[in-house]
Structure 1
Amino acid sequence: MPAADAARLAAILEDRTADISAAWLDRVVAELQGRTTRAEAQREQAEILDALVDGLKAGGERVDAPAFDALRGLLAELSAARARLGFTPRETAVGVFALKEGLYAVAGEGDAADVADLTALLRLVDDLGLFTFESFAAARESIISEQAEQLLELSTPVVKLWEGVVAVPLVGTLDSARTQVVMEKLLQTLVETGSEHAIIDITGVPAVDTQVAQHLLKTVVAARLMGAECTISGIRPQIAQTIVALGIEFGDIRTKATLADALVAALRSNGAARTPAAVLGV
């Protein structure tokens, strides 16, 4: 699109702003059905239109042109905000695609030259709509990734059971990403508390296969490098049978059937021999 054509398109948008905006706004409000106020939609629409006109005046020919940097930034921010608020891709992209409603209305009243100009503008709007959709998808992926990390943090707590004894109660599947989080949190807690014993409780792990066992061994080795002895608790009969059938070797790693047994063993290793009843306060 030559610079002269871009300037002519900007002039059309400025001359017919009222007509274009009215049809555009009606379509957006109808599509969003109360998800946003008319005043808010009108404000967003005005910002988009102003940025589009400025880009055209600056000679912008394609969506990725430097002249449209401000417009792309505006659409990216809008897409990210809509993604955080739970809008759908359609509800987000309609804010741009609905501009075509206003352009159609203007095209029906213009001459052949205006129609040709508006056709070029419609193609530009399509590209802007696709950019908005892609920005929304990227923003939503980022949000999902952040939420997954937060859930991972919450699902792998490290708790102090006793002076010098910490525990990691695992629930659910243990994969590589979660193992890394467990290691980091466990090692950090060992440093902060100066604990000499760590208990990894797998009562809530539904199944133990070779991969899960490898993840457990890595966590134990990492804790040992920090000077802490590890005990794996929660070895149920089914888990024990699976471990034997798979030929998994835990070597000299201490294992216990329950978390209470592991805590008693840790306390006795500290020289504080107690009965299970005393430890549990019963």
Structure 2
Amino acid sequence: MSTPESAVRARLSEVLTRRGAEIADRWVQLQEERTGTGSESLVEGEWREEADLLVEAFRACLAGDVPLVRATEHAGLHDAVVDMSMRRARAGAAPTEASLAVFALKEAVLEAVRQESFDTDELYVAVLALNRVLDAAGALCFETFVLGREEIIRRQSRQLLEASTPVVRLWRHVLAVPLIGNLDTARSQVVMENLLEAIQKNGTLVAIIDITGVPTVDTSVAQHLIQTVKAVRLMGAECVVSGVRPAIAQTIVQLGIDLSDILTRATLADALETSMRLTQQEAFRSEPGVAPGWADEVQEGR
């Protein structure tokens, strides 16, 4: 006569209640043996805390009514496995360490079960139940680890983009963004966001985009520059593009790109000089009786 799975689940839950501390200790020991005591994913003390949480979540899952093939739908077990995997991902552990943690828990639980008085039928159902739950947990652990590492990589890439596109204050009301390297869509978005935030924060009147370090300017790069200039103007500031070398000028002309409505200068020094003239004109324009059109006058003097 076969043993009902529900009865075995209840008994396994009872075993985990009585021997939870023993299983947690054994799990920590197995992980240390497999990953080395020098593993940096968890410091001393965190191993045991994590073990207690996961063993308790495992016990609660067995005591609940969630089908074992969908064990990770149990909220407690799901959260415990995700937290364990993400912690290792953030700590820079190898993917195998997260997987070995689940396999080590399976081994620790099976050792405890073998010491109980299960008959043959009960033991078979118990092992099958444990495999279903912990295999599902292992799959979730690996999936979470991969997603966690991808999240970390995206965040680091974003940080690198921001570090490579600093917004520098050159003068009162004058900001500059020195660009070095290729200007793709993702980087252009970061440049625009950082520049617009800095304009709002500093009350900027003129923003200089220096492309001296940009190796080539194609249609895509030009479009990104045009969009940034338009966004800067919507913020009430003027934009000057500097670092237009002869080769870049020829390329822009050959591509038929129209930059006639954008202030351009050959060097950053020239752009700074223009920016200072623009800010002086703005200060003069703000006086009573001064007519608008100050920026147009500066553009006519290019």
Structure 2 length normalisation: TM-score?
0.78
Equivalent of 2:210 in 201, 210, 216: 201
Contact 1:232/1:256, CA 8 A, preserved across alignment? yes
Give the match for residue 290 of structure 2: none
Query: 1:155 and 2:164 equivalent?
Result: yes
Calculate the aligned-residue CA RMSD, in Å: 2.7
Give the match for residue 200 of structure 2: 191
3-state SS, counterpart of residue 168 of structure 1: strand
Aligned letter for 2:89?
A: A
Contact 1:3/1:61, CA 8 A, preserved across alignment? no
Give the match for residue 171 of structure 1: 180
Post-superposition shift, 1:220? 0.7
Using the TM superposition, name which of 63-72 and 228-237 deviates more: 63-72
Query: 1:26 and 2:34 equivalent?
Result: no
Give the match for residue 230 of structure 1: 239
Give the match for residue 298 of structure 2: none
Using the TM superposition, name which of 228-237 and 23-32 deviates more: 23-32
For residues 79 and 212 of structure 2, what CA distance do their matches in structure 1 show? 49
Aligned letter for 1:163?
A: R
For residues 210 and 37 of structure 1, what CA distance do their matches in structure 2 show? 52
Query: 1:217 and 2:220 equivalent?
Result: no
3-state SS, counterpart of residue 92 of structure 2: coil
For residues 199 and 113 of structure 2, what CA distance do their matches in structure 1 show? 71
For residues 122 and 240 of structure 1, what CA distance do their matches in structure 2 show? 67
Q: Which runs of 5 or more structure 2 residues have no equivalent in the other structure?
A: 282-302
For residues 247 and 33 of structure 2, what CA distance do their matches in structure 1 show? 58
Post-superposition shift, 1:262? 0.9
For residues 125 and 279 of structure 2, what CA distance do their matches in structure 1 show? 85
Tell me the alpha carbon deviations over residues 34-76 of structure 1, each in whole angstroms, 9 at most, x when there is no partner: 2146654333223211221122112332364588311211121
3-state SS, counterpart of residue 86 of structure 1: coil
Using the TM superposition, name which of 37-46 and 133-142 deviates more: 37-46
Equivalent of 1:98 in 83, 99, 104: 104
Q: Which runs of 5 or more structure 1 residues have no equivalent in the other structure?
A: 273-282
Post-superposition shift, 1:128? 0.7
For residues 106 and 201 of structure 2, what CA distance do their matches in structure 1 show? 60
Tell me the alpha carbon deviations over residues 152-198 of structure 1, each in whole angstroms, 9 at most, x when there is no partner: 22222222212232211112222223222222222233233333222
Using the TM superposition, name which of 223-232 and 17-26 deviates more: 17-26
Contact 1:233/1:259, CA 8 A, preserved across alignment? yes
Equivalent of 2:120 in 108, 112, 116: 112
Alignment length, in residue pairs? Answer: 272
**Aligned positions of 1:28-107 closer than 5 A:** 28-33=31-36, 34-35=38-39, 36=42, 39-62=45-68, 64=70, 68-105=74-111
Post-superposition shift, 1:23? 5.3
Post-superposition shift, 1:222? 1.2
For residues 127 and 74 of structure 1, what CA distance do their matches in structure 2 show? 13
For residues 193 and 24 of structure 1, what CA distance do their matches in structure 2 show? 56
For residues 131 and 100 of structure 2, what CA distance do their matches in structure 1 show? 14
Contact 2:9/2:129, CA 8 A, preserved across alignment? no
Give the match for residue 259 of structure 2: 250
For residues 21 and 173 of structure 2, what CA distance do their matches in structure 1 show? 72
Post-superposition shift, 1:270? 4.0
After superposition, the Cα gap between the structure-2 partners of 1:67 and 1:141, relative to the gap in structure 1 and judged at 3 Å, is: closer
Structure 1 length normalisation: TM-score?
0.83
Query: 1:10 and 2:13 equivalent?
Result: yes
For residues 13 and 164 of structure 1, what CA distance do their matches in structure 2 show? 67
